[in-house]
Amino acid sequence: MEVIADKAKSHLDDAALKLTRADEKYRRRLLVIRCGLDYIELVVATRATAAKMKAEFPNYAINWSAVFRLDGSQGGAKRTMGLHPDFPVTGRALRALLVPDWE
């Protein structure tokens, strides 16, 4: 992933140089793409950390069905709750985040 991300960042840097005198909307579009690349890198790092934790800790140490929604809800998607607009933090998880010492 690092090689691909570095190559993409190189292309974005080249595009930024070409857009120095361009209209603002094109520079903003480039910024959106750069932010998307940063987001992808964070998601990949999160998934790698989760896979490492899953290998290191016993199955009962982490509630993986809550982390990746392994119970088959939401159409079987394994998206981390809160990282995608279709899967916001809701219900019990939201209350636990908002109210200290809730449980």
3-state secondary structure of 22: coil
Mean pLDDT of the chain: 78
Provide the residue type at 65 as one letter: S
User: Is 53 in the same domain as 67?
Assistant: no
User: Is 37 in the same domain as 73?
Assistant: no
Q: What's the rounded mean pLDDT across residues 60-83?
A: 59
For residue 33, the enclosing domain spans 1-57
Please give the helix or strand (H or E) that residue 33 lies within, else none. Answer: helix 24-56
Tokens encoding 23 = 């209209």
User: Is 24 in the same domain as 50?
Assistant: yes
CA angle at 76 for the pair 74 and 78, rounded to the nearest 5°: 90
Residues 28-67 pLDDT 10s:
999 999 999 999 999 888 888 888 887 887 777 766 666 6
**Backbone φ/ψ region at 63: left (φ over 0), alpha (ψ -120 to 50), beta:** beta
Q: What is the pLDDT of residue 55?
A: 83
Q: What's the rounded mean pLDDT across residues 7-25?
A: 93
Strand partners of residue 84: 87
Distance in angstroms (rounded) separating the CA atoms of residues 45 and 68: 15
Strand partners of residue 87: 84
Is residue 83 within 8 A of residue 70, CB to CB? The reply is no
Q: What is the pLDDT of residue 14?
A: 95
Q: Model confidence at 78, in pLDDT bands (50, 70, 90)?
A: very low
User: How many structural domains is the chain composed of?
Assistant: 2
User: Is 36 in the same domain as 50?
Assistant: yes
Q: What's the rounded mean pLDDT across residues 66-74?
A: 56
Whether the pTM exceeds 0.85: the reply is no
